Structure formats: C-alpha cells, structure tokens
Amino acid sequence: MKRIVVHPGAALSLLSHHHREEHRIVVEGTAKVTVDRDETLVAENQSVYTPLGAVQRLENPGKVPLTLIEVQTGSYLGEDDINRYEDVYERGQGARG
C-alpha cells in the first residue's frame, strides 16, 4: 500500500505492470486517470481499478495537491515490475517510483 501525492498540473509516468493490479482511492483533489484508452476524472472518496497489464497514467488537473491511497495486489509487487512508455522524470525502465 502506498500514499501518493501528485502536485497540481503534474503527471506520473505512462506505464504498465506484468504482475500486479492496482486500486486507488482519491483522498484529496481530483485525479485524471488513463487506463488503456479510457480517461476518467476521479473525485475525493471515489476509486479506480487498474487491471493487470493495462497501460495507465495518473494526472492532477486541479489546483490543489492530489492525494491517493494505492493498494497493489498480484503475484509480485516489486518496483522493478514497471514498464515505462513515457516518463518526464527520465528514470528509465525498472526505476523506482
């Protein structure tokens, strides 16, 4: 389980996982969530599920920090189970975060 904070106007990597699924609950703010080709706005006290293998991204389109709780399930939960397709932070394949 992780607590994730995304600053206003920021986005996380476009990525997928081979071994885990994720369920995220928005605690504060609004998330723009991309799962494969579907984009959804998720508000406080709402949640979104990302299935195994789906290409995903989290963005904060709002003016306040976005805070989420992420619960991961699957056969392997290591941080090296990340396939990045776009990463503005230039961490590279398999990097943490």
Summarised one tens digit per residue, pLDDT across range 36-73 is 999 999 999 999 999 999 999 999 999 999 999 999 99
Confirm whether 97 is domain-assigned: no
User: Which residue segment(s) compose the domain that 15 sits in?
Assistant: 2-86
Q: Is 95 helix (H, G, I), strand (E, B) or coil?
A: coil
Which residues make beta-bridge pairs with 20?
74
Candidates 77, 76, 59; CA nearest to 68 is 59
Answer yes or no: is 94 within a domain: no
Asked whether residue 46 is assigned to any structural domain, the reply reads: yes
Q: Could you tell me what percentage of the chain is helix, strand and coil, using 3-state DSSP and rounding each to the nearest 5? A: 0, 50, 50
CA 96 and chain centroid, separation: 13
CATH code, 39: 2.60.120.10
Q: What letter represents residue 35's amino acid? A: V
Please tell me the pTM assigned to this model. Answer: 0.83
